[in-house]
Structure 1
């Protein structure tokens, strides 16, 4: 079995690097607070005036703590977006968003990368999975081909996708409702929610992909 995942430096380093960068940013803003209060056009003047009113060393400690906390939250978000892929001759398993998705060898016709998305196709052309990650395309291709899976250079059904519009007549009402909910999730940058709604849409026989916040769909065969 071959496992493709982010390097150890990335998986563990974010828990140090992100809080450190956040703390540095907080300290930098604290140092700039006095100067910013002299700029009458700059927004949030009240916040920066409050920072300058806090005595030392508490203002510096607070700036470092808030910045490090923000960095830690970013690290949590980054970790939740990471994906690992386990490829064996009999099964493919994806780990993403604290969830696991498994597919048997007979369920999969081919695999390809669409930008940063890994896509698994069934023998009938349905998309079994379309998951986003920062994993290397070359590493993924090598892992799948070494285990005997067919790797495609591009989506064979790319020309069949159509841009989704409200109440698309070709789609059932429940699928249109999911697309509407997903559009709102995308607008709010709720990536995990948008991904989960896409999985629900695929369960109803419709493939979905995004381009510049626009949703495109393909009715599966």
Structure 2
């Protein structure tokens, strides 16, 4: 956590990030090296399916096989570390507004536009003054530090969670209170959740927000609400 006279910046500690960059290549190299060692044993098991790839690996001469396994594993680990780095959320919280950054993209909201801030499970949620959902982002940041930073800068922190939680209803196919477009988006999002397509799930949530529908999920079941203004 970094504090200045006007804002507080929250990000994963550099030590943890460095550890990730070191461990991921080592674990990747160890995993492929282990698979390379196992290939010789598996290729002797006549009953084991898909023998072709294992026999191919076993046929590679040493030390090329070991060096190749270590190198490919390390490269794969670096790729995983990069994906993890891009998925990290950082916050810049100040008296004038808050900025959420992830993967080179940012969202900024003026202080006057934020009506509630809270955690919903592992997700940080910002609501507008009219109850509209401004942001819902997964976060590995310390919840205590996030709360302290928002409260220090005068934001309305809701320790009990979503003030509109009771307004959410379980979505079922063809919900009559929703438009055909909203139902179609929720249907597509249900399929994306079932297939663990994270990026597609996020994109469909953004489209639902544009349609004035806010969604959360529990055990891959979707719950929805609209803004309080639309319910009047």
8 Å CA contact 1:97, 1:192 repeated in 2: no
Map of 1:69-218 to 2, 5 A cutoff?
69-153=75-159, 154-218=161-225
In structure 2, the gaps of 5 or more residues are: 1-6
- Distance, in Å, in 2 between the alignment partners of 1:73 and 1:189 is 20
**Residue 219 of structure 1: CA displacement?**
1.5
What SS is found at the alignment partner of 1:168? coil
- Aligned twin of 2:226: 219
What SS is found at the alignment partner of 2:141? coil
**Residue 97 of structure 1: CA displacement?**
3.8
- Distance, in Å, in 1 between the alignment partners of 2:81 and 2:32 is 16
8 Å CA contact 1:129, 1:199 repeated in 2: no
What SS is found at the alignment partner of 1:22? helix
CA 1:76–1:58: 2 relative to 1, 3 Å: same
- Aligned twin of 1:47: 53
**Residue 163 of structure 1: CA displacement?**
2.1
Q: C-alpha deviations, 1:16-67, integer Å up to 9, x for none?
A: 2211110111111111211222344544322111111111111112211222
TM-score norm. by structure 2 comes to 0.88
In structure 1, the gaps of 5 or more residues are: none
**Residue 108 of structure 1: CA displacement?**
0.7
- Distance, in Å, in 1 between the alignment partners of 2:75 and 2:65 is 15
TM-score norm. by structure 1 comes to 0.92
**Residue 130 of structure 1: CA displacement?**
0.8
- Distance, in Å, in 1 between the alignment partners of 2:197 and 2:53 is 27
- Equivalent of residue 71 in structure 2, options 65, 72, 87: 65
- How many residues end up aligned between the 2 structures? 221
- Distance, in Å, in 1 between the alignment partners of 2:12 and 2:127 is 24
CA 1:134–1:43: 2 relative to 1, 3 Å: farther
CA 1:98–1:168: 2 relative to 1, 3 Å: farther
What SS is found at the alignment partner of 1:109? strand
**Residue 213 of structure 1: CA displacement?**
1.9
What SS is found at the alignment partner of 2:187? helix
Question: CA-atom RMSD, angstroms?
Answer: 1.7
- Aligned twin of 2:24: 18
What SS is found at the alignment partner of 2:99? strand
- Distance, in Å, in 2 between the alignment partners of 1:163 and 1:39 is 51
CA 1:44–1:133: 2 relative to 1, 3 Å: farther
CA 1:43–1:160: 2 relative to 1, 3 Å: farther
**Residue 188 of structure 1: CA displacement?**
3.3
